Amino acid sequence: MLFLLTAPRQTGKTRWLERLIGDFDAAGVSCRGVVAPGVWEEKPDGSFEKLGIDNLLLPGKRRLRFALRRDLAKAAGAFRPSSQSAAANLGWEISDDAMWEVNAHFAKMRSAGADGRLGKGGLLIVDELGPLELLRGGGLAEAVAAVADGALSGSEHALVVVRPELVDLAEERFARAWGGAKRIAPDEEGRLAVMRALRALGASGR
């Protein structure tokens, strides 16, 4: 089954996803892929401002600095007009080096899944597929390929974060490979839907 986690920007999707990964870690269920926690700064008034985005490569949780807010990148001299994110006029300046590393992570995982070294089971996670991937054919292209692999990825289920305006496209493109798709929100109902689907895997210790 493919789960499409969708909700408006900055509504807690990644924090919800990190808690879910913790639940699966405790249950012995393998999570593979990438999760993208924000980099936040607390303001004097107690509010928080999002400055950037990191990537955690699963299952090892190696952390990469993935993106910096576009205005901050310009101020720091880190903005590259030739980058994929600049060409797409995104609000983030995405590091080409970090993008290469994440793609290499997914390529290695796909290779291991294809020849059986990963075994079967667990949850493939991609946080997130956005306009670079779904509209422009760039960005995390190996993550797109991993989702398109379906069960050949080595995982029995997948959870992909996708913004509401792209969720129809993602479902049309990937659902068949996973035997269907279910849209979920970052709430308790969504958590239970994924937990029910993976419960047998946790019970078997895979």
Separation between Cα atoms, residue 149 and residue 145, nearest integer Å: 6
pLDDT at 30: 86
- The count of structural domains within the chain is 1
Asked if residue 86 is part of any domain, the answer here is no
* Domain around 193: 2-37+53-66+95-204
pLDDT at 116: 61
Asked if residue 90 is part of any domain, the answer here is no
Residue 55's nearest CA partner among 97, 110, 113, 4 is 97
Asked if residue 130 is part of any domain, the answer here is yes
Give the DSSP letter of residue 64.
E
Q: Over 15-26, what HEC string results?
A: HHHHHHHHHHHH
pLDDT at 150: 92
CATH number of residue 200's parent domain? 3.40.50.300
Bridge partner residues of 33 (DSSP): 58, 125
Asked if residue 114 is part of any domain, the answer here is yes
pLDDT at 122: 84
Residue 152's nearest CA partner among 112, 104, 205, 103 is 112
Asked if residue 89 is part of any domain, the answer here is no
pLDDT at 118: 59
pLDDT at 200: 52
Separation between Cα atoms, residue 25 and residue 141, nearest integer Å: 27
Asked if residue 139 is part of any domain, the answer here is yes
pLDDT at 201: 47
Within 10 Å of residue 148's Cβ, how many Cβ atoms?
15
Structure confidence by residue, pLDDT tens digits, 163-198: 999 999 999 999 999 999 999 999 999 999 999 988
- Intervals of the chain under pLDDT 70: 114-121, 200-206
Q: Residue 128: is the preceding peptide bond cis (ω within 30°)?
A: yes
Asked if residue 78 is part of any domain, the answer here is no
Separation between Cα atoms, residue 129 and residue 174, nearest integer Å: 12
DSSP string, 139-193: SSHHHHHHHHHGGGGS-SEEEEE--GGGHHHHHHHHGGGGT-EEEE-SSHHHHHH
Asked if residue 85 is part of any domain, the answer here is no
